[in-house]
Each structure stands twice: as C-alpha cells, then as structure tokens.
C-alpha cells in the first residue's frame, strides 16, 4: 500500500505521462497544501515555446493563484525530476515547506547533484528536501522518452 508521499508522487507521474503524450520532456509536478492538490502541471516548453514553462514553475503559479498568495508556506512540492537552477530558485522564493523529487538530473540538478541550492543557508528560506521518491519509476519514463526520440532520429 502506498503512503501519502508515494501517492502524491504517483499523481506527479500522471502529469509526466501527460507531458510524454504531448511530446514534451516527461516531467510532472504537483503541490499539496493541507492534504489537497492545489497545483499540478507538466513540462510545456515546446507547447508554449517558453523556456520557463517547467512543470515546477507552472505548478507554483497555480498554487499561488489557488491560495491567493505567492507565499506557499506549508505546501509541499512533488516533482518527478530533480529541479534545475531556475526551478530551485522559484521553490525558494515561493517559500515551499518541502520538496520531494524522484530521479536525479546529472545535467541540471540543483538539489544535490550538481549543487544544492535548497540547502544553501545563505538564502532566506530552506525547504526540507527529500530525494529519490519513486526514483525508478520517475527515471523510467524519462529513459523511455529519450530512447524513443533517438530511435526516431535513427541514432
């Protein structure tokens, strides 16, 4: 039986699948506050032709709109891939309570892989960080997506 954190990450994986189905890099994110999902999104950089349209940024905007405040204190973010520098910065600025991520990102991960922005005490806010939640499942969808792209290109 899945615990709450696993269930929330499963919801983020559902968002990642939506991204996959739309031809976007399959990253999904949800934000939970008081047991309710108040933000959910998936990558939409290609769809929107917007370099900032990462799942985390879009979900943070939804959550802020839901709460009527940019301060997301008490909220937890679940994302299938380790946040990049932009998303880690947005997480800090939004004052999220905690971040749970699945797969690590060796090329852009800023929550422990390349660096840990969320753990830098020089910032005014440091959310709790929980790495590796359903990491295998989160990594598998990314692996499948990029394998499919390479096959289409004949590589």
Instruction: Express each pLDDT in 58-93 by its tens digit.
Output: 999 999 999 999 999 999 999 999 999 999 999 999
Residue 155 pLDDT class (50, 70, 90 cuts): low
Residue 122 clears pLDDT 70, i.e. is over it: yes
Residue 1 clears pLDDT 70, i.e. is over it: no
Residue 69, C-beta contacts closer than 8 angstroms, at least 6 positions apart: none
Average pLDDT over residues 88-113: 98
Catalytic annotation present for 56: yes
Average pLDDT in the chain: 97
Query: In this predicted structure, what is the pLDDT of residue 154?
Result: 80
Average pLDDT over residues 127-146: 98
Residue 118, CA distances (Å) to 17, 50, 54, 90, 92 in order: 26, 24, 17, 10, 7
Average pLDDT over residues 105-120: 97
Q: Which of 6, 24, 46, 56 is catalytic?
A: 56
Determine contact, residues 54/84, Cβ cutoff 8 Å: yes
Residue 2 clears pLDDT 80, i.e. is over it: no
């Amino acid at each position: 039986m899945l615990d709450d954190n696993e269930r929330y990450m499963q919801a983020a994986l559902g968002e990642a699948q939506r991204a996959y189905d739309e031809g976007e890099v399959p990253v999904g994110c949800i934000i939970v506050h008081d047991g309710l999902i108040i933000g959910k999104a998936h990558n939409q950089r290609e769809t929107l032709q917007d370099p900032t349209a990462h799942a985390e940024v879009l979900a943070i905007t939804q959550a802020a709109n839901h709460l009527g405040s940019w301060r997301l204190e008490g909220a937890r973010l679940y994302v299938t891939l380790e946040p990049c520098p932009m998303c880690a910065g947005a997480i800090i600025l939004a004052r999220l309570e905690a971040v749970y991520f699945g797969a690590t990102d060796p090329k852009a991960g800023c929550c422990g892989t390349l660096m840990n922005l969320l753990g830098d005490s020089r910032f005014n806010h440091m959310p709790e960080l929980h790495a590796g939640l359903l990491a295998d499942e989160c990594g598998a969808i990314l692996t499948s997506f990029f394998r499919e792209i390479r096959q289409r290109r004949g590589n």
